[in-house]
Amino acid sequence: MGADDRNESRDKDSDADLKARLEKLSHTLDAHRGGSSGPDGQNGAGGSGSSWGAATNLGFQALVEFVTAVVVGPIIGWEIDAWFKTKPIFFIVFLFVGVAAGMLNVYRLAMGPPGRKGDRQ
């Protein structure tokens, strides 16, 4: 029985020690982050690494969405032209449709999700 009591006492001490270390780490992280974060969980300081990464991510996402729409549109038009043997008509039409879809995708991406800014009452 004595060994079990010592193990239980050691477990309680290690739990208390772990909780103290966790609190210390939380305070250190809060101090490193500046103590406050923005409404979307990001640090409000401009030029931080996380904001640079978020901006790069957004830029690459816009690039991929625009290029994909501009490439897929003409491919669809080219295939329709091959089926109906009307060479440049559908290719040109779907090229414009692809460019418009790409611009719309980038616009939606830049504006963010709907209802994000005006929800406060």
Has residue 115 got a pLDDT over 90? no
Q: How far apart, in whole angstroms, are the C-alpha atoms of residue 98 and residue 78?
A: 12
Tell whether 75 is covered by a domain.
Answer: yes
Whether 14 is covered by a domain: the verdict is no
Q: Which residue has the tokens 């209802």?
A: 115
Number of domains within the chain: 1
So what's the pLDDT on residue 74? 96
Residue 40 lies in a domain: no
Cβ(50)–Cβ(43) below 8 Å: yes
Of the two residues 87 and 43, the one the predictor is more confident about is: 87
Tell me the residue range of the domain where 73 lies. Answer: 55-113
Q: So what's the pLDDT on residue 13? A: 74
The mean per-residue pLDDT over the stretch 82-103 comes to: 96
For 36-61, write each residue's pLDDT tens digit: 544 444 444 445 678 898 899 999 99
pLDDT at position 57 is 93
Q: pLDDT averaged over the chain?
A: 82
CA nearest to 102, candidates 64, 76, 59, 75 = 64
